[in-house]
């Protein structure tokens, strides 16, 4: 079980603050009740002044408050106030020493009535104590400032060094180390409490600065925790033992120095050896852990790669199956749609064919009798114009009937070998009449165009319907283009609608308004039209599709809004081996 060193040091920091607070409080009580033994501890040592004890109370309380970063802002400001008051007291004391003024700040709490009070300085805090309090007070004020953390630790280390030096002076009997000015010595319990307070401030933030290395679990941290206490304490203890033995007369100075040197060699050699063994053990354990981790990592990578490959293969199979299923569902949907459309067209075609056949018989009677009546009238007859309109209406009705019969595939086809260029040329005047004077017609015909087997009248019907469709889509000034070409479709470019083979291409283009994708998907539906009501039957393109399909061909449209429309009619090219039915 590993110990959380950060929390351990923070708890020790709290203990240090409590110790400093209690020491200062006890000494203040001794001043209040004039208990000399508590003030001086030993008769041969100096007394802790009342203002020194008060500063310990303030610094102990400040450390106890500020060591916990989670405290509220108001409570933390109380801790800063305590540390700031110590800084003020230490600063005023130093001013007294420098200027030799007597500001009597040392007598505010309790008046010093000892024999030394009549001399200069009168019962004043020791100069070294004031310097230490100034550094520790500033350090506590800077405890919460991360940017000044280095300065805070440097001030505490200086105070710690000075307190250690003073304590060594007491241990070795060197009064010059703790009695800088005459009659102004640092008391033994003062320097001990300062030492505890310095350590408490350093331990308040063990995760930052110098303490971060000490509490770390690295090799450096382990070495510091082993060597630092021994490096600081053992030389002092051994030196004190050597001096005590010499003063007791056990040996002379030379022997004592030799014994001191030899003791230090043995102690530090042992510490070095133990530390080296520890480092070796840690390095061995780390190497073993690294090897185990590397093997585990390699095994994990292998399992991850294997599992990833399995998942990728499963994902590929799933994606392929989903794509196949989607394509099958889409194909099924389109097939069902085509079947429904075909059934609907067949029903509409049968209905339209039956009606058209009967209607055509009626129109034959109407046109026959109107023609007979016209033969008996002269142009000046008032009824002549009316009869002419009846005849024209009958002709238009007959043309519509022919379209319905073609759409329903009930019109009798008379297929022959036809030169499509000749059909275009012979229809030129008629097509220009359809387009009108405000629109232009251009043709681009393949000179060596192949022949097709088709009904010439139906081919003319295709040209007429395409011209009408282009005229309605264009504005005045529009251009209608007719092109012919020989086309060969190989297996790579063949589609479901166009099988591989040789074709004659009839292509018409207009620069009209064009069509969006939704409109293009419905243009060959019977009775579908984008014209206003009463301006179109919706049969023109459906008739073209029916004629082309009867001839074994295919119609495709290429269009976009504002880009005009191009209709490509593919008709099988005549081969000499083909038979004309």
CATH number, domain containing residue 476 = 3.30.565.10
Which residue, of 216, 238, 265, is where some domain finishes? Answer: 216
Answer whether residue 226 is part of any domain. Answer: no
pTM to 2 decimals?
0.47
Residues 164-189, mean pLDDT to the nearest whole number: 74
Q: What are phi and psi of 339, to 5 degrees?
A: -65, -45
Among 164-173, 470-479, 532-541, 558-567, the least confident range: 532-541
Provide the pLDDT for residue 19.
92
Q: What's the average model confidence in pLDDT over 125-136?
A: 87
Residue 265 lies in a domain: no
Cα–Cα–Cα angle for 419, 432, 446, nearest 5°? 30
How far apart are alpha carbons 489 and 84 in whole angstroms?
98
Domain-embedded: residue 247: no
Per the prediction, the chain carries an average pLDDT of 79
Tell whether 301 is covered by a domain. Answer: no
**pLDDT at 110 exceeding the cut of 90:** no
CA geometry: angle 454, 457, 463, nearest 5 deg:
95
Give per-residue pLDDT as tens, 192-229.
899 999 988 888 888 877 777 777 777 777 777 777 78
* Count: domains in the chain: 2
- Residue 460 CB partners (closer than 8 Å, separation 6+): 423, 427, 430
Q: Is the pLDDT of residue 115 over 70?
A: no
Q: Locate tokens 């209690």: which residue?
A: 22
Per cent of the chain over pLDDT 70 is 81
Specify if 136 maps to a domain: yes
- Tell me if the bond preceding 89 is cis, omega within 30° of 0: no
**Residue 31 pLDDT > 90, yes or no?**
no
Q: Which of 171, 190, 216 is the last residue of a domain?
A: 216
Residue predicted with more confidence, 239 or 401: 239
pLDDT at residue 197, as a whole number: 92
**Structural domain harbouring 11:** 5-216
Do the domain assignments include residue 341? no
Task: With a cut of 90, say whether residue 58 has pLDDT above it.
Answer: yes
Least confident of 42-56, 83-97, 191-205, 306-320: 42-56
Distance, CA of 114 to CA of 122 (rounded, Å): 9
What are the helix (H) ranges across 217-252? 219-247
Supply angle C-alpha 272, 275, 277, rounded to 5.
110
- Is 306 part of any domain? no
**pLDDT band per the 50, 70, 90 thresholds, residue 57:** very high
> Where among 216, 241, 256 does a domain terminate?
216
Question: Does any domain span residue 267?
Answer: no
Mean pLDDT of 156-165: 88
């Amino acid at each position: 079980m590993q110990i959380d060193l950060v929390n351990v040091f923070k708890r020790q920091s709290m203990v240090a603050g409590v110790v400093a607070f209690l020491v200062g409080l006890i000494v203040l009580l001794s001043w209040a009740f004039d208990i000399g033994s508590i003030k001086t501890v030993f008769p041969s040592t100096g007394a802790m002044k009342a203002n020194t004890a008060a500063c310990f109370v303030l610094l102990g309380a400040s450390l106890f408050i500020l060591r916990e970063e989670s405290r509220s802002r108001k409570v933390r400001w109380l801790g800063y106030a305590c540390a700031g008051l110590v800084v003020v007291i230490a600063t005023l004391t130093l001013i007294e020493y420098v200027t030799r003024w007597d500001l009597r700040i040392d007598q505010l709490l309790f008046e010093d009535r000892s024999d030394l009070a009549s001399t200069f300085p009168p019962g004043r805090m020791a100069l070294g104590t004031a310097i230490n309090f100034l550094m520790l007070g500033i350090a506590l004020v800077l405890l919460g400032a991360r940017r000044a953390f280095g300065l805070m630790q440097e001030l505490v280390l200086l105070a710690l060094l000075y307190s250690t030096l003073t304590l060594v002076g007491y241990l070795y009997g060197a009064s010059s180390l703790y009695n800088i000015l005459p009659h102004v010595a640092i008391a033994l319990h003062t320097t001990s409490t300062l030492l505890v307070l310095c350590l408490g401030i350093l331990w308040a933030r063990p995760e930052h600065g110098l303490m971060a290395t000490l509490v770390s679990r690295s090799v450096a941290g382990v070495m510091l925790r082993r060597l630092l206490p021994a490096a600081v304490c053992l030389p002092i203890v051994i030196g004190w033992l050597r001096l005590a033995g010499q003063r007791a007369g056990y040996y002379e100075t030379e022997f004592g120095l030799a014994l001191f040197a030899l003791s230090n060699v043995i102690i530090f050699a042992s510490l070095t050896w133990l530390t080296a063994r520890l480092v070796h053990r840690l390095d061995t354990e780390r190497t073993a852990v690294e090897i185990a981790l590397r093997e585990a990592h390699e095994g994990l990578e292998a399992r991850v790669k294997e599992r990833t490959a399995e998942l990728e293969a499963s994902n590929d199979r799933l994606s392929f199956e989903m794509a196949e299923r989607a394509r099958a569902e889409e194909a099924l949907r389109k097939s069902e749609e085509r079947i429904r459309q075909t059934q609907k067209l067949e029903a509409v075609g049968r209905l339209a064919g039956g009606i058209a056949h009967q209607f055509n018989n009626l129109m034959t009677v109407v046109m026959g009798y109107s023609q007979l009546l016209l033969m008996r009238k002269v142009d000046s007859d008032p009824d002549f114009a009316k009869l002419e309109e009846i005849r024209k209406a009958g002709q238009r009705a007959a043309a519509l009937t022919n379209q319905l019969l073609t759409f329903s595939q009930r019109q009798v086809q008379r297929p022959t070998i036809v030169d499509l260029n000749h059909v275009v040329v012979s229809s030129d005047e008629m097509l220009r009449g359809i387009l009108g004077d405000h629109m232009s017609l251009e043709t681009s015909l393949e000179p060596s165009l192949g022949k097709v087997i088709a009904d010439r009248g139906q081919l003319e019907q295709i040209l007429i319907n395409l011209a009408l469709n282009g005229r309605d889509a264009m504005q005045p000034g529009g251009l209608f283009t007719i092109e012919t070409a020989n086309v060969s479709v190989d297996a790579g470019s063949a589609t479901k609608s166009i099988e591989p083979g040789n074709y004659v291409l009839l292509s018409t283009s207009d620069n009209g308004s064009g069509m969006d994708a939704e409109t293009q998907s419905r243009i060959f539906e019977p009775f579908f039209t984008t014209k206003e009501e009463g301006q179109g039957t919706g049969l023109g393109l459906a008739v073209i599709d029916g004629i082309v399909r009867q001839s074994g061909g295919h119609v495709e449209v290429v269009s976009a809004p504002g880009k005009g429309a191009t209709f490509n009619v593919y008709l099988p090219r005549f081969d000499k081996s083909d038979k004309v039915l």
